Copies of this chain bind each other. A is one copy, B any other.
Amino acid sequence: MVGIRDVAEAAGVSVSTVSQVVTGRRPVAAATRARVEAAITRLGYRAHPGASQLRGGRTGTIALIVPTLENPFYPLVAVGMQDVLVPRNILLTVTDASGMDRSASAIHRLLSRRVDAMVAAPFGLPESSLAELHDAGIPFVSLGKAPPGGGDFVHTDDVSGAREVTTHLIERGRRRIAFLGGEESVVPTQQRLEGYQAALRAAGLPVRGDDVVFEEYTREGGRKGAATLLDRDDRPDAIVAANDLIALGVLDATRARGLRVPDDVAVTGYDDIEAASLVSPPLTTIENPAREIGRACARLLLERLDGMVTDVARTVALSTRLIVRDSS
């Protein structure tokens, strides 16, 4: 294990000079620097990150916490962050928070002081846990849910997106439109529901409580919810699914029942993951710019790390877009 001491010796300088060369926080004479750098290369020296961090340095790592990696939306957010982070030589660490819900502080314990900054999509996380993230004393960006105490925040307008897709269905002549959400408690569900209801009201259509069902944000959730909605006597003529995964499950259910989409029932999704355009029939959905969202998060964080921002909380709102395909 080659330490800074070895490099110093090899280069014939002091330990502190080596450190200065490495960190660049103080100027070093060109000749000396060259000698030190040569020694570093020759010995293959790398600073021990633990020690660096201990003495007050950065970890050079940014964390992304997502509710699940099974929804392809989130890997894409990670890719977007990479776009910004890789040129800056910062390591991105992606953590799937599914399965670590119980202990409210699991995430904090795992990440505190282990990263320089953090972005989290805090759905399903208890409020206390979110507060902890916010108070961890490092730059933090919340994804899709306004942080309780205020703070940086990247999102798309779920209300307007859901309103847009619902309105589209109404314009296509649908009158009995159901909403199939994921977990009821999470913010995007509530906002998409709100947009759906707003569209109904604006069109003068009744807002019926039994036309709203909540399951999970998975394909399986979609199958289950669709079963509830479709096996009734007066089934809806359209289903607004709260995301594409759910919509895929709805399509499974229609297929299993021999229902034609969109003739018997129209289906719409949300996010525009790749599968949305592939499934048959292709899904009408709302494009949610995952990669761009990732980029925005990373940029926000970087600006804080660079000290360009003081303490004003910033919100980045990215726009969504209705994509009409055959399912409606």
Contact = CB atoms under 8 A, between A and B. Distances in A.
A78 B96 contact: yes
Contact of A49 (B48, B53, B95, B275): B53
Interface in A271-309: 274-275, 278-280
State how many copies of this chain the complex holds.
Answer: 2
Interface in A78-97: 78-79, 82-83, 86, 89, 91-96
Report the contact-size class of chain A (Cβ under 8 Å from the partner): 35 or more
A97 to B, nearest CB: 10
Interface stretch (A13-21, A24-32, A68-76): A68-76
A205 to B, nearest CB: 31
A131 interface: no
A76 to B, nearest CB: 7
A168 to B, nearest CB: 22
29 contacts: A46-B112, A48-B53, A48-B54, A49-B50, A50-B51, A50-B113, A51-B54, A54-B54, A69-B75, A69-B79, A70-B76, A72-B75, A74-B75, A75-B75, A78-B94, A78-B96, A82-B96, A82-B98, A82-B99, A83-B99, A89-B106, A91-B93, A91-B110, A91-B111, A93-B93, A248-B278, A275-B278, A279-B279, A279-B280
Interface of A: 46, 48-54, 59-61, 68-70, 72, 74-76, 78-79, 82-83, 86, 89, 91-96, 98-100, 106, 109-114, 248, 274-275, 278-280
A-B pairs, top 5 by smallest CB distance, nearest first, are: A50-B53, A93-B93, A280-B280, A94-B94, A50-B54
